[in-house]
Structure 1
Amino acid sequence: MFIGRKTEIGILENEYGREGSSLVIVYGRRRIGKTTLIKQFMQSKDSLYFLSTEEGGRQNLKYFQSLAFDKTALNLLRPENTLEWEDIFDLLTRGPDKTVIAIDEYPYLAMTEPGFSSRLQRIWDEMLKNRNVMLILCGSLIGMMYSETLDYSSPLYGRRTAQIKLAQIPFTDFAGFFPEKNDEELLSIYAVTGGVPRYIELFQPEKDLLENITDNILKKGSYLYEEPVFLLNRQFRETGTYFSILKTLAGGSQKSSEISGRLDMKQASLVYYMNGMIDMDLVEREVPVTERNPEKSKKGLYRIKDNFCQFWFRFVYPFMSYLEMENTAPVIEKIHKSFIDSHLSFIYERVCRELVKEMASEGFFGDKIVRIGRWWDSKEEIDIVGVNGDNKPVIFGECKYREGPVGIDILRELQRKALMVSKAAGGAFLLFSRKGFSKELLEHSRRNDNVFLFELFGKI
């Protein structure tokens, strides 16, 4: 089942339609759907998909040769013939039609055959760039993909014609996985799996949320039982340090000084580790959206960005001693008590912000909105603030995932806080509510065209 990825497919199709050669880099964390994306794109095209392994350079070469023989049936490519990479690429790309060659898990080639990127550079410069070929290099080891293909020091630097860093599937495409679920049910699943296709596919639509969590996460030996450990082990060497940072973030520490203090680590070292996890979309650094120089802002806060990791470190890891004894009851009790308040409500805010970004990009608010995010100071916080091209806040929003309708007092409070952000706080006021709005607030919104109400995600 292939869902979403319209932008990414569009990039690949544009590169395929390019006259002459193209070299595309596709990278992103494991299970994010890179291979599925590439295979979907390659359907009905003259193509070859090659998955490199950690076996060694010669074994990868022989496998590549066998795939090329299966594709072309050329006698020269028979397994008993000894060929080099240059020979195989030459034989694959002699035809007039565009050939797509995808090398998946490219870092394994770079690791098992030292200097392979330099060799591929020569093959590209002397042969492929002058032929009707589309070469796709793909990999999950983000650091190595960057150093081998995108970094200035890489032999392949400057050769790429496009690159795709594949992110998680957004909530706007999530319904495609569970067409029979309503928005509230979808949000609950999304809060656990995030937009990682492999995680999503594990959740069976006929089961409720807790059944799926139990089967796929809480049962010892289940697919996601230790997924964050595997994920960190695959990407980083000092796994324990990254693990400790995520554990500290899940515990509520957000300021770099507080995190480094708890871990007895220098802040400069913490930034290094954080940047690695930011590249993987596991962690994000937020500053108030009104900050003019976000990179230099001292107000930055770190948060776990990945929904599944946030859920796992909050509800699974603290109970590992119980789960190792196959006792899931304490976790289920914890989920019953605090899933909404300590997890789901925050995911709801994120999804609402993404919805507002989409509305802004479509011109819903008139003004050209250049940034949308959160705002806070030492005492107050606003869930959604949108800033226009003049750096003026013009959108203010609150998200309330709770039982019962939202009343006009929430709007008044939002308007009060908006004046703290901008002394002339005109603009649009948005309220998102799980359970609707009071009659007074509904009447007020009908009389004021700058007040917008959304029940869950639907505009009223």
Structure 2
Amino acid sequence: MRRFIGRERELRVLGAAFEKIREGIGSQKPGQCVLLRGRRRVGKSSLVEEFLSRAEVPYVFFTAAGESAADELAELLDAVASSTLPERSLFAEETPGQWNAAFRLLAEILPDDTPSVVVIDEVPYLMERVDAFEGMLQRAWDRLLSRKPVLLLLIGSDLSMMEALNSYDRPFHQRATEMVLGPLNPADIGDMLGLEPAAAFDAALVTGGLPLICAEWRPDASLWEFLRDSLDNPISALLVSAERSLAAEFPPQAMSREVLRAIGSGERTFTNIARAAGGIAHTTLTRATEVLADKRVVAAELPVSLRPSKERRYRVADPYLRFWLAFLDPHMAEIERMRGDLTLSRIKEKWTSWRGRAVEPLVRESLARLLPDGGLPAAPAIGGYWTRGNDIEIDLVGADRQPVAKRLLFLGSIKWLENSAFDSHDLAALHKHRAAITDDPIPLVAVSRSGVNCSGLEAAYGPEKLLTAWRGN
């Protein structure tokens, strides 16, 4: 199925956990638990639904909605009543009034001699709304559920809360295998949409690899055709997905939203972000950036070099959200009055310069997956280097660690232009910047969308080679 392109590895992981259960039937504790986390709209629920359709076993799929503890319990009872568990009618007969009782009854109706699946989606809502939920879940798992041949899938979009669920100081520690579902990678996107490598990277920057957005991209359509279609449709996934995700994670009155918009508009330093967010206080901005970083929405980065630096910079971590904040969010009123053509013209005007910086994290991650390669070693850390005044700025710094490295492994430049190759002028600038930070002849690397027409580089990479780094991942 088209929407599951690139998810075969994850399906195999779930299948392997399920096989352990099947093989363990008759043992004392055959049950397995998997914590599945990933950002909103990345396709977690759809992945699990596909797994269930392939497994063809009894299951219950319950999704929390952020309601009161009593309302969530009522929804759980309804989910069990409409499930495919063979003894589901017992829930209608007994109607447990407490979560502990519901877990006990759920364990009773699970089959003893055949595998089954229990899915609890949006677990962080339950952690917030149900008193002592983690402790009740731990007791139910240890004493009841793990003794059945069941796969318990706990799903959540709040990354920090899902990580906390399995941390050492929490009741459920070490009771589950953790699994992270990321967006579709550039190779998956290219395969799904029938795009050439360079266009696949463009699509990754716009859609963020979110399956719902990619599903609206007509196969073989260009970037501009996709954007035109999306801007003409006020309920397109490209337009609405970001707002829905932000509304679920950050209340409208939260200062984090204003700070995120400031970063999304292109501000990268603490001082400029504070100014763009309305001149907010230092302590308020510190709390807001910590919340955003904790939720993995924003990345706070330091230069990678041989010396410590305090020149921290911020960027929106998710490519789709970065695109939405830069180009769509400020002009929603324009789009809603059916003038998406104005928005599209604005994107075209600013696209090349915006893309040049937006692609940098994706290139670094591609190289991290690709190396070692030829004369370049694997690099435990790949980042960038900059000074306060940007008089020296290096796109790629490979090192043995970050942010303060003991050894630099390579330096490089990214030139991501449509019709301009990396040339001798770019190489001269790279030599100049290298001399400013080290006297050692550190290998030099070029990454170019349109090729390289000079010598003197240790390695050069284009979209085709970068895309190979994502194959099989």
TM bracket, shorter-chain basis? 0.7 to 0.9
Match of residue 166 from structure 1: 181
> Pairwise CA RMSD of aligned residues?
3.0
Counterpart-to-counterpart distance in 2, 1:305 and 1:112: 28
Select 1:271's aligned residue among 279, 286, 290: 286
Q: Shift in Å at residue 204 of structure 1?
A: 1.5
Match of 1:426, SS state, is coil
Match of 2:215, SS state, is helix
Match of 1:418, SS state, is helix
Counterpart-to-counterpart distance in 2, 1:217 and 1:16: 43
Q: Shift in Å at residue 71 of structure 1?
A: 2.6
Match of residue 21 from structure 1: 31
Q: Is 1:36 matched up with 2:46?
A: yes
Match of residue 27 from structure 2: none
Equivalent residue runs for 1:280-429 within 5 Å: 280-290=295-305, 298-341=310-353, 343-360=354-371, 362=372, 364-365=374-375, 367-378=377-388, 379-388=391-400, 391-402=406-417, 403-427=419-443, 429=444
Cα deviation code 1:173-215 (max 9, x no counterpart):
322311x221222222222111222221121225332332233
Match of residue 257 from structure 2: 243
Q: Shift in Å at residue 65 of structure 1?
A: 2.9
Match of residue 4 from structure 1: 6
Cα pair distance change 1:337/1:3, threshold 3 Å: same
Q: Shift in Å at residue 288 of structure 1?
A: 1.0
Counterpart-to-counterpart distance in 1, 2:88 and 2:267: 63
Cα deviation code 1:135-168 (max 9, x no counterpart):
1111224455456x24566443x14332234332
Q: Is 1:175 matched up with 2:187?
A: no
Match of residue 471 from structure 2: none
Select 2:62's aligned residue among 41, 48, 51: 51
Counterpart-to-counterpart distance in 2, 1:232 and 1:348: 23
Cα pair distance change 1:99/1:325, threshold 3 Å: closer
Match of residue 92 from structure 2: 79
Counterpart-to-counterpart distance in 2, 1:454 and 1:210: 25
Counterpart-to-counterpart distance in 2, 1:121 and 1:292: 46
Counterpart-to-counterpart distance in 2, 1:114 and 1:78: 22
Q: Is 1:455 matched up with 2:472?
A: no
Cα pair distance change 1:324/1:286, threshold 3 Å: same
Quick one: which amino acid aligns to residue 423 of structure 1?
A: D
Contact 1:432–1:457, Cα closer than 8 Å, also in 2: no
Q: What TM-score comes out, normalization by structure 2 length?
A: 0.82
Q: Shift in Å at residue 291 of structure 1?
A: 6.2
Cα pair distance change 1:275/1:22, threshold 3 Å: farther
Quick one: which amino acid aligns to residue 328 of structure 1?
A: G
Match of 1:23, SS state, is strand
Select 2:226's aligned residue among 192, 201, 212: 212
Contact 1:395–1:430, Cα closer than 8 Å, also in 2: yes
Match of 2:239, SS state, is coil
Counterpart-to-counterpart distance in 2, 1:458 and 1:71: 48
Counterpart-to-counterpart distance in 2, 1:276 and 1:187: 29
Cα pair distance change 1:365/1:173, threshold 3 Å: farther
Quick one: which amino acid aligns to residue 412 of structure 1?
A: A
Counterpart-to-counterpart distance in 2, 1:25 and 1:8: 13
Contact 2:300–2:312, Cα closer than 8 Å, also in 1: yes
Q: Is 1:127 matched up with 2:134?
A: no
Contact 1:25–1:138, Cα closer than 8 Å, also in 2: yes
Match of residue 88 from structure 1: 105
Match of residue 191 from structure 1: 205
Counterpart-to-counterpart distance in 1, 2:325 and 2:303: 25
Counterpart-to-counterpart distance in 1, 2:190 and 2:263: 30
Contact 1:393–1:422, Cα closer than 8 Å, also in 2: no
Match of 2:251, SS state, is coil
Cα deviation code 1:305-326 (max 9, x no counterpart):
2222222222223333432322
Cα pair distance change 1:210/1:367, threshold 3 Å: closer
Number of residue pairs aligned between Structure 1 and Structure 2: 440
Contact 1:249–1:302, Cα closer than 8 Å, also in 2: yes
Match of 2:329, SS state, is helix
Quick one: which amino acid aligns to residue 205 of structure 1?
A: P
Q: Shift in Å at residue 32 of structure 1?
A: 0.9
Q: Shift in Å at residue 92 of structure 1?
A: 4.2
Cα deviation code 1:272-306 (max 9, x no counterpart):
3223323443321111122677xxx5221001222
Counterpart-to-counterpart distance in 1, 2:85 and 2:368: 45
Q: Shift in Å at residue 124 of structure 1?
A: 1.3
Counterpart-to-counterpart distance in 1, 2:336 and 2:51: 42
Match of 2:434, SS state, is helix
Of stretches 169-178 and 29-38 in structure 1, the one that deviates more from structure 2 is 169-178
Match of 1:95, SS state, is coil
Quick one: which amino acid aligns to residue 49 of structure 2?
A: K
Counterpart-to-counterpart distance in 2, 1:406 and 1:38: 44
Counterpart-to-counterpart distance in 2, 1:34 and 1:126: 28
Cα pair distance change 1:79/1:93, threshold 3 Å: closer
Percent of pairs identical after alignment? 23
Contact 1:373–1:384, Cα closer than 8 Å, also in 2: yes
Cα pair distance change 1:256/1:407, threshold 3 Å: same
Match of residue 154 from structure 2: 137
Counterpart-to-counterpart distance in 2, 1:434 and 1:146: 37
Select 1:258's aligned residue among 272, 289, 305: 272
Structure 2 residue ranges without an equivalent (≥5): 25-29, 467-473
Contact 2:60–2:79, Cα closer than 8 Å, also in 1: no
Contact 2:189–2:209, Cα closer than 8 Å, also in 1: yes
Q: Shift in Å at residue 238 of structure 1?
A: 4.9
